[in-house]
Structure 1
Amino acid sequence: MNSNNFRNLRNIGVIAHVDAGKTTTTERILFYTGENHRIGDVNDGNTTMDFDPQERARGITIHSAATTVHWQGTQINLIDTPGHIDFNIEVRRSLRVLDGAVVVFDGVAGVEPQTETNWRLADEYRVPRLAFINKLDRVGADFLRVVASLQERLGVRALPLQLPIGAEGDFRGVVDLLTMQALVWDRDDASAPPRVQAIPPELQSAAEAARARLLEAAAEQGDALLDAWLRGDELPLDDVRAALRRGTIAGAFVPVLAGSAFRNRGVEPLLDAVVAYLPSPGEGPAAAAAEGPLSALAFKLTADDHGAMVFVRVYSGKLKRGDTVFNASTGKAERVSRLYEIHADQRVERDELVAGDIAGVVGLKEVLTGHTLAERKDAAVLESIVVPEAVIDVAIEPRKQADAAALSKGLGMLVREDPSLRLRQDPDSGQTLLSGMGELQLEVSIEKLRARFGVEVQVGRPQVAYRETIAGTAEVRHLHRKQSGGPGQFAELTLRVAPLPRGTGIRFENTVVGGAIPREFIPAVEAGIRRAAQSGPFAGYPLVDFEATLVDGSHHVRDSSALAFELAAAAALREAVMKASPVVLEPVMAVEVITPADYLGDVIGDLLRRRGHVHGQDARGNAVVLSAEVPLEQMFGYIGHLRAISSGRAQFTMQLGHYAEAPKSIAALAA
């Protein structure tokens, strides 16, 4: 595929907070593009994109699902992503390979926590976006209020392309501000196209003012258009659309559209906007270079009855069935058995993939999420995918000892598929600990073990995934010497440790000069430090946010080896940490509670009793939205208590805010 062909291709994702109507919007897209001849319903459990049995049973999206549709001569590769924070890794890896996104907002709730999180991820990956304000038929929906919340909470220039006609139950259409025509849906029937008519008189003035702002934003995207606008000339619509496209791709503004996906209103104009304003693979900040050798990123792995499949985005070159390629991240060769275009849970075999394609590859044995596929082992490695922190642990073991091997295999596959899951051994109890981003993610993972691998397991109560770090600095000299008849082991080194800011991770520095430690042993020192940090010496939790500096050392010509220096480094780190004021860190969650005003005092008091800090409250209709930070240790079982004190009317969401030093009483219990 050359860059000219890119014009007719869009790789987009649909992202949102849970329950904003994201999957419902996607199902309507499938219907209007002719991919489906019936509309799936989340409540009925028969959607195309949520095809996993757990998704249909729970009524939420758990896995990102890909499909391909066509609209007005343009191919759209579409990924529907989860809205629940526990499955945020699915959003991260999808945004990493997409060229554009449709962000769905609840017309009542506006900007919600997970929408904001996903928006920041899209900023990080420089993904141009359209905003679709959904559910405008609901009581309390307010298009202009949501537009204002986009600007205030997300810090973007929200640019309406439409104004809604009617409100709440009377929402029936939109005003197209470019053509200054009204599109009205007389019935909820998806097969009935909108009726084009004149703008209602009561909206004429507001539409003219909104159109003036739209034209001004477009004019700012080009000197010739700006000059014509300043002269008061009528701007050609094609030129305006081209300017809006440039501005959207550059991130100058975010076009905003209105609708109610459930009532089949506003979806066709949304598809028109995807084609008109979102970039092709050859455009935008992360434009693909079609020509040149193969370069592709593996962004997702799945395993089913057909075997393991790796989802890839091809950035340049071609990938053919039967090709031998290199994993540039590991240097190992892999052979491609089959290539598939994905349509939710259906597959269409392909002979080759070209630049811009997002598809599935079968046959790759050791490729993981974030690895780069290329024609040469020494090819440039593409930017990988940042994996979020795990904050909750559960101990897991088979009900029957005979299932131990199957459990080990199943856990290995789950962790390979989902890099936000972690697996480790408790150093004290020897139990296997599965860690994740939340209770729901762990519940889903455990259900997969039963359904896919036939393993019944016993699961302990969820526990907080603490971390440990150091508050001070220390320097130690450690000698590792072992003699047992044959070749000995000798390694001597001086190691200094110092704290780093929260979220930095582990940093290793080598300041040894003069060959005191041969260069070939330095990687072993770093490996020993990182291995020892997996289970800290103070409380047994992963050790984070510190710098380890190799200051000095010595070696023996015969007895020194990489293994000796790795063991010495691990022992030196443990010794140094215990001298550097070790502390326990606990995850602190960013919590948002939506409560009727009548229960506000009780909700705030309860959060304070949970060691929470309330740092903001806003009105949302007749409810109040509280923003708070609360230690995760205090949030287990919170939903039941919140319902009890609010007569079942309050709700909440939470996600990891940061790690902070735990109080001494909590640290003592954790240790």
Structure 2
Amino acid sequence: MTTLNLGILAHVDAGKTSLTERLLHTAGVIDELGSVDDGSTRTDTMALERQRGITIRSAVVSFTVAGVTVNLIDTPGHPDFIAEVERVLGVLDGAVLVVSAVEGVQAQTRVLARTLRRLGIPTLFFVNKVDRAGADPDRVVRQIADRLSPDVVALGRVDAAGTPAARWLPAAPDDPDHTARLVDLLTAHDDALLAAYVQDERTVTAARLRAALAAQTARARVHPVHAGSAITGAGVDELVAGIVALLPAADGDDRAPLSGTVFKVERGPAGEKIAYARIFAGTVRVRDRIRYRGDHEAKVTGIAVFDDGDAVPRDAVGAGRIARLHGLTEVRVGDHLGTPPDRPAGRHHFSPPTLETVVVPARAADRAALHTALTQLAEQDPLINLRQDDLRREIAVSLYGEVQKEVIQATLADEYALPVTFWETSTVCVERLTGVGAAVEWIGKDPNPFLGTVGLRVEPAPVDSGVEFRLGIELGSMPLAFLKAIEETVRETLRQGLRGWEVVDCVVTLTHGGYWARQSHAHGVFDKSMSSTAGDFRNLTPLVLMAALSRAGTRVHEPVHRFHLDLPADLLGTVLPVLATLDAVPRTATLRGASYLLDGEVPAGRVHALEQRLPALTRGEGTLESEFDHYRPVRGPAPSRPRWDHDPLHRKEYLLAVARRVTARPER
């Protein structure tokens, strides 16, 4: 039996979880349909998900159809929980992107479609809610072609759209209009098919077109469109048939070396970690010792695979499957099992969080418990980016939006009995280098009190290239442990630049390195005071790096969102001055009938304020979509963020804190 790992993705409220429920019902996994409104769906298991009617954590269920086991992963639709979607993308064989027939293509739809296309994930579109008043599936299909991808083709049409009797009518194989659309789309990507059609169009039969459609869909060249209703079941049978026939099944060799990726971590009833992993190659058996995250190793104590909706215990799991693994006590989301797969899992597909807030326990005695709880939440969502300021006894978390903050607050109260409040949400900026800088401190020479020589040069790198650490000294001239200590400390130190923000997109080159070899007295007693250790390099590197940054200079950049604002035409003159007070800059204004569509930029920190003011400004008729676009230099005074550790920019205090001394050791 083959396996297909399928993601269900959508903008919030497009009906994604209801579609998941309907697919399980159609496959016979469940006897009764659950309801999002009633909190009775199979995949929304958290109490908070049931209360709010939104998906917060990704969930895996399965069903079998036509000899194919479909592992279906239901993902959140709200943009505040995009990190959950990010972790799933790298383990998918295919995806269904759900679009509402009423609301049409929305901001999150565009973000998801762009990412699926960039990663080359085979994707079907499903236009949902065709039974709802105001549904216009034909308009939505045109939107998909205009805004998401021109390489789409509807495989049928909707009859009685906008009524409870709406139904999906698949195109007949001999329908000349449908055949013409398929030929136009498929021959654009297949020269052999085009040549055959030009030579004798009769040889391009319906069966050949269907085979070409499946092949090009599997290569993410084209995207078939289905439509229907998750509530009534219209069109769902045809969608299931399309999933099996058009999306590629998982591949992989059970006998190859182990290769897998952990995309979700949760805790069991006893607090034990459970890792959700996609196995790309090889086989995992109970009691196997497997390696992950470099040099970590652990014994697998339990395995469960998904079968007809439930996680079923197994002794082993092979390539292509998704499994729940017990026993990996130190595992984290994004860890590779065995050999890293040749997949984009682990890369950031979406923008990082651009907001931050400090979490304050209602009871001062709960501070340690709060840190433990947030650490566990960060295991499930690493982009929370837990940051503890020991100097001020504060704990900060990164956020995508205000809804995520509310969810964290409710989760801490419900699951950990920890009432908390939050400081006002602030924007997370970054620092970029404005020039090149270098610094060096020599072993045994004032003012260096550490037994090590470190020289570093920093220089700007292209946007979004990340941090690159290079060796400018001969490999082998220093012990590997010392080089590793320097690189790790460089990356950690760059989290707080000259003004406290993370320094991004730069190249750091180790230009000088030196150490004192291990010294000992009579009888082989180790003399630490005369021998370099990794600690010397961990303590010295921040001083050298910050000196190099100071000489290079940095500039603070703030995150900027691209916005799309649809508002009544007569209110344009009222809204524009308000946008100006929020530092929003309209780029284009397009008149469409009785409304204006404004496209522009707004600082990320002002998006929430714009959302709050919009209903009153537009008589409740305005709609706003926004998404992260880029970082831009801050205008005016550069904001700073207090450091949460000992500050290497203040040498005396730093040395007193980390080394309890401020002068160098005497030379040998």
In which range does the TM-score fall when normalised by the shorter chain?
0.7 to 0.9
Structure-2 change in CA distance of 1:383 and 1:449 (3 Å): same
Match of residue 561 from structure 2? 589
Amino acid in the other structure paired with 1:110: G
Q: 425, 442, 466: which is aligned to 1:462?
A: 425
Match of residue 114 from structure 1? 108
Q: 582, 590, 594: which is aligned to 1:610?
A: 582
The answer as to whether partners of 2:261 and 2:277 remain within 8 angstroms in 1 is yes
Amino acid in the other structure paired with 1:311: Y
Counterparts of 1:516-535 in structure 2, within 5 Å, are 520-535=481-496
The answer as to whether partners of 1:427 and 1:535 remain within 8 angstroms in 2 is no
Deviation at residue 413 of structure 1 after TM alignment = 0.6
Structure-2 change in CA distance of 1:429 and 1:153 (3 Å): same
Counterparts of 1:181-200 in structure 2, within 5 Å, are none
Counterparts of 1:146-165 in structure 2, within 5 Å, are 146-165=140-159
Distance in 1 (CA, whole Å) between partners of 2:596 and 2:307 is 41
Distance in 2 (CA, whole Å) between partners of 1:611 and 1:518 is 52
Distance in 2 (CA, whole Å) between partners of 1:520 and 1:310 is 30
Match of residue 315 from structure 2? 351
Structure-2 change in CA distance of 1:405 and 1:75 (3 Å): same
Structure-2 change in CA distance of 1:669 and 1:209 (3 Å): same
State percent identity of aligned pairs.
31
Match of residue 547 from structure 2? 575
Is 1:308 matched up with 2:303?
no
Is 1:493 matched up with 2:454?
yes
Is 1:661 matched up with 2:629?
no
TM-score normalised over the length of structure 1? 0.86
Distance in 1 (CA, whole Å) between partners of 2:576 and 2:456 is 47
The answer as to whether partners of 1:77 and 1:358 remain within 8 angstroms in 2 is yes
Match of residue 406 from structure 2? 443
Q: 271, 281, 286: which is aligned to 1:321?
A: 286
Is 1:635 matched up with 2:607?
yes
| CA-based RMSD | 3.0
Once the two structures are superposed, residues 514-550 of structure 1 have per-residue CA deviations (whole angstroms, 9 ceiling, x without a partner) of 97756653222222222211222x2222222222222
Is 1:394 matched up with 2:362?
no
Match of residue 65 from structure 1? 59
Deviation at residue 209 of structure 1 after TM alignment = 1.7
Amino acid in the other structure paired with 1:157: D
Match of residue 174 from structure 1? 168
The answer as to whether partners of 2:196 and 2:204 remain within 8 angstroms in 1 is no
The answer as to whether partners of 1:92 and 1:121 remain within 8 angstroms in 2 is no
Amino acid in the other structure paired with 2:392: S
Deviation at residue 140 of structure 1 after TM alignment = 4.4
Per the alignment, in what secondary structure is the counterpart of residue 608 of structure 2? coil
Amino acid in the other structure paired with 1:69: F
Counterparts of 1:86-485 in structure 2, within 5 Å, are 86-169=80-163, 172-179=166-173, 208-217=176-185, 221=190, 223=192, 227=196, 230-233=199-202, 236-282=205-251, 288-306=252-270, 307-327=272-292, 329-342=293-306, 347-374=311-338, 383-387=344-348, 388-426=351-389, 429-479=392-442
The answer as to whether partners of 2:431 and 2:503 remain within 8 angstroms in 1 is yes
Distance in 2 (CA, whole Å) between partners of 1:668 and 1:50 is 40
Per the alignment, in what secondary structure is the counterpart of residue 431 of structure 2? strand
Deviation at residue 165 of structure 1 after TM alignment = 2.0
Deviation at residue 391 of structure 1 after TM alignment = 1.3
Unaligned runs of 5+ in 2: 518-529, 644-668
The answer as to whether partners of 1:392 and 1:439 remain within 8 angstroms in 2 is no
Deviation at residue 111 of structure 1 after TM alignment = 2.4
Match of residue 191 from structure 1? none
Distance in 1 (CA, whole Å) between partners of 2:596 and 2:321 is 45
Structure-2 change in CA distance of 1:235 and 1:515 (3 Å): closer
Distance in 1 (CA, whole Å) between partners of 2:481 and 2:134 is 67
Per the alignment, in what secondary structure is the counterpart of residue 88 of structure 1? helix
Once the two structures are superposed, residues 589-620 of structure 1 have per-residue CA deviations (whole angstroms, 9 ceiling, x without a partner) of 22233333343443343223211222345677
Amino acid in the other structure paired with 2:112: N
Deviation at residue 670 of structure 1 after TM alignment = 8.9
Counterparts of 1:12-31 in structure 2, within 5 Å, are 12-31=6-25
The answer as to whether partners of 1:109 and 1:620 remain within 8 angstroms in 2 is no
Choose 455-464 or 590-599, whichever is displaced more. 590-599
Match of residue 201 from structure 1? none
Amino acid in the other structure paired with 2:507: E
Structure-2 change in CA distance of 1:666 and 1:575 (3 Å): closer
The answer as to whether partners of 1:469 and 1:582 remain within 8 angstroms in 2 is yes
Choose 410-419 or 153-162, whichever is displaced more. 153-162
The answer as to whether partners of 1:51 and 1:345 remain within 8 angstroms in 2 is no
Choose 570-579 or 627-636, whichever is displaced more. 627-636
Once the two structures are superposed, residues 104-144 of structure 1 have per-residue CA deviations (whole angstroms, 9 ceiling, x without a partner) of 11223332221121122222332101111122334543333
Amino acid in the other structure paired with 1:133: V
Distance in 1 (CA, whole Å) between partners of 2:591 and 2:424 is 36
Distance in 2 (CA, whole Å) between partners of 1:447 and 1:544 is 33
The answer as to whether partners of 2:257 and 2:281 remain within 8 angstroms in 1 is yes
Structure-2 change in CA distance of 1:511 and 1:450 (3 Å): same
Distance in 2 (CA, whole Å) between partners of 1:158 and 1:429 is 55
Distance in 2 (CA, whole Å) between partners of 1:448 and 1:346 is 25
Distance in 2 (CA, whole Å) between partners of 1:606 and 1:304 is 49
Structure-2 change in CA distance of 1:428 and 1:367 (3 Å): closer
Match of residue 525 from structure 2? none
Distance in 1 (CA, whole Å) between partners of 2:36 and 2:230 is 12
Distance in 2 (CA, whole Å) between partners of 1:405 and 1:414 is 14
The answer as to whether partners of 1:489 and 1:559 remain within 8 angstroms in 2 is no
Once the two structures are superposed, residues 70-124 of structure 1 have per-residue CA deviations (whole angstroms, 9 ceiling, x without a partner) of 2234321111111111111211221210101111112233322211211222223
Distance in 2 (CA, whole Å) between partners of 1:262 and 1:623 is 32
Choose 589-598 or 258-267, whichever is displaced more. 589-598
Amino acid in the other structure paired with 1:473: V
Deviation at residue 245 of structure 1 after TM alignment = 0.8
Distance in 2 (CA, whole Å) between partners of 1:242 and 1:223 is 13
Amino acid in the other structure paired with 1:433: A
Once the two structures are superposed, residues 130-166 of structure 1 have per-residue CA deviations (whole angstroms, 9 ceiling, x without a partner) of 1111223345433333333323322341111112223
Distance in 2 (CA, whole Å) between partners of 1:30 and 1:111 is 26
Match of residue 183 from structure 1? none
Choose 592-601 or 526-535, whichever is displaced more. 592-601
Structure-2 change in CA distance of 1:504 and 1:619 (3 Å): same
Amino acid in the other structure paired with 1:362: H
Distance in 1 (CA, whole Å) between partners of 2:398 and 2:308 is 28
Match of residue 510 from structure 2? 550
Once the two structures are superposed, residues 13-34 of structure 1 have per-residue CA deviations (whole angstroms, 9 ceiling, x without a partner) of 1111112121121121122111
Deviation at residue 638 of structure 1 after TM alignment = 2.7
Per the alignment, in what secondary structure is the counterpart of residue 305 of structure 2? strand
Choose 551-560 or 405-414, whichever is displaced more. 551-560
Distance in 2 (CA, whole Å) between partners of 1:534 and 1:302 is 27
Amino acid in the other structure paired with 1:232: E
Match of residue 204 from structure 1? none
Deviation at residue 427 of structure 1 after TM alignment = 7.5
Amino acid in the other structure paired with 1:661: P
Structure-2 change in CA distance of 1:65 and 1:506 (3 Å): same
Per the alignment, in what secondary structure is the counterpart of residue 539 of structure 2? helix
The answer as to whether partners of 1:161 and 1:178 remain within 8 angstroms in 2 is no
Distance in 2 (CA, whole Å) between partners of 1:111 and 1:65 is 24
The answer as to whether partners of 1:480 and 1:568 remain within 8 angstroms in 2 is no
Once the two structures are superposed, residues 275-322 of structure 1 have per-residue CA deviations (whole angstroms, 9 ceiling, x without a partner) of 11011113xxxxx34442322211111124253211011112222223
